């Protein structure tokens, strides 16, 4: 992370157009090739092909049960796949071992439930993985954790425990914790779905800021305002398949499939 540490979350300017398929080196940062996965008889990912370029913000939309979370979880091997391959910055994800730990550290993940350690202070939550996994000194980990907490606007809460913070604050800590590992890509799986409505924007603002700084992001979200503002590309999934991929304005104004039209009519008309 090279940005300044003391800014509060601010509305980032909309993402500018970026190359759609590959970065300037011609290599996608995340690539899924013919990925298939079953849970028992349920075919949950069906021939998923997806590339995400460096600096690209991808928003994944689709009805509940379409495989969005499973796809995210395969990208850092929280779930295995049956066939196909997943590459992070050109390197295939191995099944297990030290190399998997290393590659997994390159993928930051933020979940609907914040998953902070309840018995650790906020600062300790953010310092933990850098000290344990990256072997950063405690002093350096502390300094960087404070910078990250300032960046997401919760540095004043550093010595508190998660339960003493609001949901929006906890989710911002979860983002800081993921960033502390210096990931190449950040995955967000419905990061605002468990929040009270008045806390949604403070989390989306942090995500917009990250997007504006060039972070590569894959975001599963139903926040259409965020999708329109931040996404370079939208992917629509249903029944384990990617049915549509396109620029946000194209997708929202001219969805091609009946499934997408139906989905959009349900979320936008309320």
Residues that bind Mg ion (CB under 5 A): 68-69
Residue nearer to ligand ADP on the CB measure, 71 or 152: 71
Beta-strand (E) ranges in 41-199? 42-52, 57-61, 83-88, 91-92, 107-110, 185-189
Give the shortest CB-79-to-Mg ion separation in angstroms.
Answer: 12
The pair of structure tokens assigned to 190 is 């419905």
User: Of Mg ion, ligand ADP, none, which one does residue 39 interact with (CB within 5 to 8 Å by kind)?
Assistant: ligand ADP
Beta-strand (E) ranges in 67-152? 83-88, 91-92, 107-110
C-beta atoms surrounding 10 within 10 Å: 12
d(CA 267, CA 197): 16
CB closest to Mg ion, residue no: 69
Contact 35, 86 (CB under 8 A): yes
Q: Distance from CA of residue 59 to its chain's centroid?
A: 9
The pair of structure tokens assigned to 89 is 């910055």
Residue nearer to ligand ADP on the CB measure, 136 or 227: 227
Residue nearer to ligand ADP on the CB measure, 83 or 164: 83
Residue nearer to ligand ADP on the CB measure, 31 or 190: 190
Give the shortest CB-235-to-ligand ADP separation in angstroms.
Answer: 12
Angle between helices 167-179 and 122-132 in degrees, nearest 10:
20
User: Of ligand ADP, Mg ion, none, which one does residue 65 interact with (CB within 5 to 8 Å by kind)?
Assistant: ligand ADP
Give the shortest CB-3-to-Mg ion separation in angstroms.
Answer: 30
Give the shortest CB-64-to-ligand ADP separation in angstroms.
Answer: 4
User: Of Mg ion, ligand ADP, none, which one does residue 70 interact with (CB within 5 to 8 Å by kind)?
Assistant: ligand ADP
The pair of structure tokens assigned to 17 is 């157009």
Give the shortest CB-68-to-ligand ADP separation in angstroms.
Answer: 3
Residues of the shown chain interacting with ligand ADP in the complex, contacts defined by CB under 6 A: 39, 42, 44, 62, 64-70
């Amino acid at each position: 992370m090279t940005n300044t540490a003391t800014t509060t979350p601010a509305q980032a300017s909309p993402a500018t157009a970026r190359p759609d398929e590959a970065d300037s080196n011609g290599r996608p940062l995340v690539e899924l090739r013919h990925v298939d996965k079953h849970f028992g008889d349920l075919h949950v990912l069906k021939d998923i092909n997806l590339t995400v370029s460096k600096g690209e913000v991808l928003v994944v939309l689709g009805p509940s049960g379409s495989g969005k979370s499973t796809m995210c979880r395969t990208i850092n091997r929280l779930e295995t796949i049956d066939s196909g391959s997943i590459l992070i910055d050109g390197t295939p994800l191995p099944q297990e071992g030290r190399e998997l730990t290393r590659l997994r550290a390159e993928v930051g993940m933020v979940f609907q439930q914040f998953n902070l350690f309840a018995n650790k202070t906020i600062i300790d939550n953010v310092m933990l993985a850098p000290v344990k996994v990256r072997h950063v000194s405690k002093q350096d980990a502390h300094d960087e954790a404070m910078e990250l907490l300032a960046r997401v606007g919760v540095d004043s809460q550093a010595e508190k425990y998660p339960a003493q913070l609001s949901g929006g604050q906890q989710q911002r800590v979860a983002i800081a914790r993921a960033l502390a590992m210096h990931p190449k890509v950040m995955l967000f799986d419905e990061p605002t779905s468990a929040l009270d409505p008045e806390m949604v924007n403070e989390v989306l603002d942090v995500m917009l800021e990250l997007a504006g700084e060039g972070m590569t992001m894959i975001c599963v979200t139903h926040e259409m305002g965020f999708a329109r503002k931040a996404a370079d590309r939208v992917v629509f999934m249903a029944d384990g398949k990617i049915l549509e991929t396109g620029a946000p304005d194209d997708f929202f104004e001219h969805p091609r499939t009946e499934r997408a039209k139906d989905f959009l009519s349900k979320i936008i008309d309320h």
